[in-house]
Structure 1
Amino acid sequence: MCGRFVVAGSEQDLIDLFDVDLVGTHLPEPSYNISPTDPVRVVLESLKEDKITRRMEAARWWLTPSFSKELKTKMPTFNARTETVAEKATFKASFKSKRALIPASGYYEWRTEGKTKTPFYIQLPGETMVFAGLYSWWRNQALPEDHPERWVLTSTILTRDATGEVEGIHDRTPLILPRDFWDEWLDPKTEGTQALADEAMAVATPVTEQLRFHEVGPVRDASPELINPL
């Protein structure tokens, strides 16, 4: 799973990395401890009148499907399993045409041994991680049509079985996509089927096996010192 991650560095670096056409407002500041329901940067492609625009937006990290009556769902939706994303009611509409990329400098995972949980910081040395994500627009029916917060952009990070050395920490990892798969993943004209999910897991395997990690102290605040090795 992925329940805490880091985004460091400049906004312009991310804009350049993804070749973004349009930058949204209220993008979150860099943080060393992003947790569920926090705002995160998402890269998505919108299709209007047969024109595709690549955008970077701020989204709530907890996907809320359009049919939900409440913003925060009863079940946690900040992660979605890649193996079943095409069939789960909460995620399948988003997977069909609303896929996103979510950049990260690294993420935290805890190894559990008995009652002891040991935190690790996991990264892709020298590179920005790019998580496969989904997004959904949720409409707050309690607010008037012209209210600026009537529409809420929400998101989730896909996960998969762990491979490589990180498997010794946790049995799940985020689905980390290589650069040459970003365009295919984002393209709203490409229908999200289980075949696409399986392809994404296949191309992600070599990336996952390059992950490196080190033990860190308690993950309690949002300071840069959180990622320092013990």
Structure 2
Amino acid sequence: MCGRFAITLPDEAMVQLFGAAPANDLPPVPRYNVCPTQPVAAVISREGTRHYGPMRWGLIPRWYKHPTDGPLLFNARSETLAEKPAFREAARARRCLIPATGFYEWTKEGEARLPWFIQRADDAPLVMAGVWQVWHGPEGSRVGTCAIVTCAAVGGMAELHDRVPVILEPGDWALWLGEEGHGAARLMRPLPDGALAFHRVGTEVNSNRAEGPELIEPVSSPS
């Protein structure tokens, strides 16, 4: 799964990387502890044009009357993405890219929850596959919402957690966004073993209120 991540990459660099038109109200960066329900920046494609704009992390199905009417859907399992009522329409027609510097996972040592920071071994931006939905709230309000697609972990990553985000290579972005027709389902697989690097970080990140570059710095022992 992916329940926290960091995004430290400047908006200008992301707009250039994706060839997208930016929104005026992008979430601030850098952010070292992005949590579900917070705004994140995502890339969508409409009529051949890519847009880079804010979305609430946590997809709200169209039948929810209130964002808390059901479970918080911040992850979507690749194996059931096309079947679950909350995700199946988005899986077909509303897929997005969610960039990150890296994401966090936790292991347990006794009663302690030990956090790890995971990023690409080549230091490239980590681009996660997502699905999105515009939720129509009370009094005509409209909120763009999204979820990160996950798949089974392999190799060394599987020792940290059994799930990882689906991470897409640049050559796959257009297909995932629906710009190259059908076949996006084949992209829902983990990166090869060794493509991701990870290190222990301090337990300060266990608090969803923590923020700052020290959260992703390596530590050699539990803190």
**Deviation of 1:209 (Å):** 3.7
The answer to whether 1:196 aligns with 2:181 is no
The answer to whether 1:171 aligns with 2:167 is no
Residue 111 (structure 1) aligned to one of 100, 107, 126: 107
Seq. identity, %: 38
Q: Which amino acid aligns with 1:26?
A: D
**Conserved in 2, the CA contact under 8 Å of 1:107 and 1:122?**
yes
Kindly report which structure 2 residues correspond to 1:52-131, keeping only aligned pairs within 5 A, or say none: 52-125=48-121, 126-131=123-128
Larger mean CA deviation between 125-134 and 111-120 belongs to 111-120
**Deviation of 1:4 (Å):** 0.3
Q: What is the rounded CA distance, in whole Å, between the counterparts of 2:160 and 2:4 in structure 1?
A: 15
The residue aligned with 1:161 is: 152
**Deviation of 1:109 (Å):** 0.3
**Conserved in 2, the CA contact under 8 Å of 1:122 and 1:211?**
yes
CA deviation profile, 1:145-197 (whole Å, cap 9, x unmatched) = 4xxxx110000001110012111111111110111110000016745xxx632
Q: Which amino acid aligns with 1:138?
A: W
What's the secondary structure of 1:214's corresponding residue?
Answer: strand
**Deviation of 1:65 (Å):** 1.6
Q: What is the rounded CA distance, in whole Å, between the counterparts of 2:28 and 2:17 in structure 1?
A: 17
User: What runs of 5+ residues in structure 2 fail to find an aligned partner?
Assistant: none
CA deviation profile, 1:57-93 (whole Å, cap 9, x unmatched) = 1000000122222223421200000011000001001
Q: What is the rounded CA distance, in whole Å, between the counterparts of 1:15 and 1:5 in structure 2?
A: 19
The residue aligned with 2:32 is: 32
Q: What is the rounded CA distance, in whole Å, between the counterparts of 2:134 and 2:179 in structure 1?
A: 15
Q: What is the rounded CA distance, in whole Å, between the counterparts of 1:185 and 1:74 in structure 2?
A: 27
Q: Which amino acid aligns with 2:156?
A: E
Root-mean-square deviation over aligned CA pairs: 1.6
Q: What is the rounded CA distance, in whole Å, between the counterparts of 2:171 and 2:66 in structure 1?
A: 37
Change in CA separation of 1:103 and 1:73 when aligned onto 2, cut-off 3 Å: farther
User: What runs of 5+ residues in structure 1 fail to find an aligned partner?
Assistant: none
What's the secondary structure of 1:183's corresponding residue?
Answer: helix
- In the alignment of these two chains, the number of paired residues is 213
Change in CA separation of 1:137 and 1:189 when aligned onto 2, cut-off 3 Å: farther
**Conserved in 2, the CA contact under 8 Å of 1:132 and 1:176?**
yes
Q: What is the rounded CA distance, in whole Å, between the counterparts of 1:95 and 1:72 in structure 2?
A: 22
Moved over 2 A (4+): 112-116, 188-191
Q: Which amino acid aligns with 1:139?
A: H
Q: What is the rounded CA distance, in whole Å, between the counterparts of 2:11 and 2:43 in structure 1?
A: 12
What's the secondary structure of 1:83's corresponding residue?
Answer: helix
**Conserved in 2, the CA contact under 8 Å of 1:97 and 1:190?**
no
